[in-house]
């Protein structure tokens, strides 16, 4: 018997899924180097040996977790940017999506960025190839809008870094916010919502100002 459903909620996920869940939680919080295999087993409430029984090694398990996390972010960006919505809508949509994604899993931004840097080489092979959508839709849109004089000229990469940076940074700054009086889940969420209201407006105001 693999898993069981009791009334609404999935109570027994099955051991493998339970380990994966626990791994996600611990890796996201402590990073690869900071995570002990025993932490994962404990968090899952499961015997230590089962981690390797189901996933062969700490590293293999980590890779699964990282790929999902990085892919969630990449997909959010690409599915929006490479659609055919107006530029302004894309920017507001990305803001909304990231806000919800990160409020649900506040460790994603720092985890993804940190682990991508920890082994930048592996990144290149692993994500680099998988993610090369290369639709070019967004690049073209930016060029067209600039040509029409609707926005300043800007590359996709510059705009992406600006947007993702703005949307991610508050979630990397909780300790700083805490020291400055913005402590606790409620205060933090309030700050984030205010911040994410600023972001698209700031970006659009900048793009629209032609000099």
Contacted entry of DNA, its own copies, none for residue 59, CB cut-off 5 to 8 Å set by kind: DNA
Supply the minimum distance, in Å, between the C-beta of residue 35 and DNA.
Answer: 6
**Residues facing residue 12 across a β-bridge:** 4
Helix residue spans in the chain (DSSP H): 15-34, 37-44, 48-55, 58-81, 87-104, 108-118, 120-130, 137-147, 156-172, 174-179, 185-208
Q: Which is nearer to its own copies, 33 or 186 (CB)?
A: 33
Q: What six digits make up the tokens of 151?
A: 């926005």
Angle, to 10 degrees, between the axis of helix 58-81 and the axis of helix 108-118?
120
Q: What six digits make up the tokens of 95?
A: 């803001």
Verify binding: residue 116, its own copies, rule CB under 8 A.
Answer: yes
Contacted entry of its own copies, DNA, none for residue 1, CB cut-off 5 to 8 Å set by kind: DNA
Contact present, 46 and 13 (Cβ < 8 Å) = no
Piece in contact with its own copies (CB under 8 A), picked from 42-50, 53-61, 142-150, 191-199: 191-199
Summarize as ranges the residues that interact with its own copies (CB under 8 A). Answer: 30-31, 33-34, 110, 113-114, 116-118, 120, 123-124, 127-128, 131, 154, 157-158, 161-162, 164-166, 168-170, 172-180, 182, 191, 194-195, 198, 201-203, 205-206, 209
């Amino acid at each position: 018997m693999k898993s069981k459903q009791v009334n609404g909620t999935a109570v027994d996920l099955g051991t493998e899924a339970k380990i994966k869940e626990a791994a996600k939680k611990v890796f996201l919080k402590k990073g690869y180097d900071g995570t002990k295999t025993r932490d994962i087993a404990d968090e899952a409430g499961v015997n230590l040996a089962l981690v390797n029984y189901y996933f062969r090694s700490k590293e293999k398990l980590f890779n699964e977790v990282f790929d999902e996390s990085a892919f969630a972010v990449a997909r959010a960006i690409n599915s929006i940017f490479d659609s055919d919505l107006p530029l302004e809508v894309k920017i507001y949509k990305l803001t909304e999506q990231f806000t919800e994604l990160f409020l649900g899993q506040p460790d994603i931004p720092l985890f993804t960025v940190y682990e991508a840097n920890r082994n930048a080489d592996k990144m290149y092979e692993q994500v680099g190839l998988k993610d090369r959508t290369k639709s070019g839709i967004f690049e073209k849109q930016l060029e067209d809008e600039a040509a029409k004089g609707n926005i300043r000229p800007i590359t996709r990469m510059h705009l992406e870094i600006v947007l993702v940076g703005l949307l991610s940074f508050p979630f990397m700054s909780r300790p700083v916010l805490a020291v400055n009086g913005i402590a606790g889940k409620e205060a933090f969420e309030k700050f984030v919502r205010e911040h994410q209201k600023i972001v698209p407006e700031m970006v659009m105001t900048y793009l629209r100002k032609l000099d």
